[in-house]
Amino acid sequence: MSTLIAIRETSLSGKGGDYSPAKEKAANRGVYGGRSPLLRRLRLFLGGAKYKLLLLFCLLTSLCLLSSKISSFMGWNPHYPASVSSPSRGGYTVLINTWKRNSLLKQSVAHYASCQGTDAIHVVWSENDPPSYKLRDYLKKVVLKKSQTAHKPNFRFDLNKEDNLNNRFKPIEDLRTDAIFSVDDDVIIPCRTLDFAFTVWQTAPLTMVGFVPRMHWLNEEKNGVVHYRYGGWWSVWWAGTYSMVLSKAAFFHKKYLELYTYKMPSSIQDYVSRKRNCEDIAMSLLVANATGAPPIWVKGKIYEIGSSGISSLNGHSDKRNKCLDDFVSLYGTMPLVSTNMKAEDARHAWFW
């Protein structure tokens, strides 16, 4: 046995007998292969794993760089000086538009009072009769009970003498926040989603940030006059683009209340009063005209707890088309800007 081992060692070392690199390679492969095939497989696996980890690292780095470029393109700045806790901005004021639906109003006030970012709740009241003392007292108690913070939100009815859709955008005195969250009394946005949308708005406080996207597109041109069409949710879904977010659930800066009431062409307010429609389109045009930028759609859960509204009535789409066309002619140009970007909280999304 010792003689055989000595001969093998002599042969492998090239000392004695015919030597060639090919023989040495074959001999080494035979030694390691016969000794431990499991060890060789483990080495191959570890070598492959290193390459996979390196590839994964490169991929994640590329995604991070792409994300930052997209944010820059959209005008969003995640390092904007303002933040949720910024004392100069505080939280947001919830502006609820209601009309003879006290049961829905109670649910809505109770919900938004429980959101941590809510600094105040204002109810736009346009009914002929003022709210009853019973309703006032009930809602004030609900706000105190539901609030999750030491600082309790202010609660107030903003009373109007006439029923007019323009009332929802009247300036409000003594506001402590720059942010307005405009919402219908039958729309509920979960607090976590609402607070996320607020942080998005803080990165672009001059634009509208909302949950209900809509779009416009060129319909036809006749005799030098351009006509546009209004697109609902299915149009947004199909085209993958939008140019408006409706004020039934949207953030905007408080200064737009002043602009809507005092700077926007009065003919547009008159149109809204006569047609009892399209105040949300008017606000979208106003903000786009002031900024030259698109709105931001926040993708998130939204619950509509009321019965079907005017959007379910026959001829609603035709009326919206007419509104859009008439408003654009009053502006003399199309101020809306289309985009296909959206904001989504990746912490609670299925796909990143």
Q: Phi first, then psi: what are they for 58, rounded to 5°?
A: -65, -40
Angle of helix 316-331 versus helix 266-275 axis, rounded to 10: 170
**Known catalytic membership, residue 280:** yes
Query: Mind listing the pLDDT tens digit for each residue in 76-111?
Result: 333 333 333 343 357 999 999 999 999 999 999 999
What single letter denotes the amino acid at residue 7?
I
Q: pTM, whole model, 2 decimals?
A: 0.74
Q: What's the pLDDT at 166?
A: 97
Q: In what helix (H) or strand (E) does residue 80 lie, and over which residues does it extend? A: none
- Residue 341 in 3-state DSSP? coil
Among 4, 25, 24, which residue's Cα sits nearest to residue 13? 24
User: For 23-31, what is the mean pLDDT?
Assistant: 45
Could you tell me the pLDDT band of residue 37, with boundaries at 50, 70 and 90? low
Q: Which amino acid makes up residue 9?
A: E
User: Mean of the pLDDT values across residues 51-79?
Assistant: 51
Neighbours of 215 (CB within 10 A): 22
Residues 86 and 177: beta-carbon distance below 8 Å: no
> For position 85, what pLDDT does the model report?
37
CA 86/CA 319 separation, integer angstroms = 42
Say what the pLDDT of residue 243 is. 96
How many angstroms separate the CA atoms of 313 and 196, rounded? 33
Express each pLDDT in 132-188 by its tens digit: 999 999 999 999 999 988 889 999 999 999 999 999 999 999 999 999 999 999 999
Position 296 scores a pLDDT of: 98
Q: Output helix, strand, coil percentages for the chain, rounded to the nearest 5.
A: 50, 20, 35
How far is residue 194's CA from residue 300's CA, in Å, rounded to a whole number?
9
Q: Which pLDDT does position 287 carry in this prediction?
A: 98
Higher pLDDT: 52 or 321? It is 321
Q: Which residues make Cβ contacts (< 8 Å) with residue 89, sequence separation at least 6?
A: 82, 177, 178, 179, 202
Mean pLDDT of 38-47: 53
pLDDT confidence tier of residue 54, bands split at 50, 70 and 90 = low
Q: Which of 129, 280, 318, 345 is catalytic?
A: 280
Q: Which residues contact 292 (CB under 8 A, 6 or more apart)?
A: 335, 337
Identify the burial level of 230 via C-beta atoms within 10 angstroms of its C-beta, where 0-12 means exposed, 13-18 middle and 19 or more buried: buried
DSSP E strands: which ranges in 52-114?
92-97
Give 129 or 86, the one with higher predicted confidence: 129
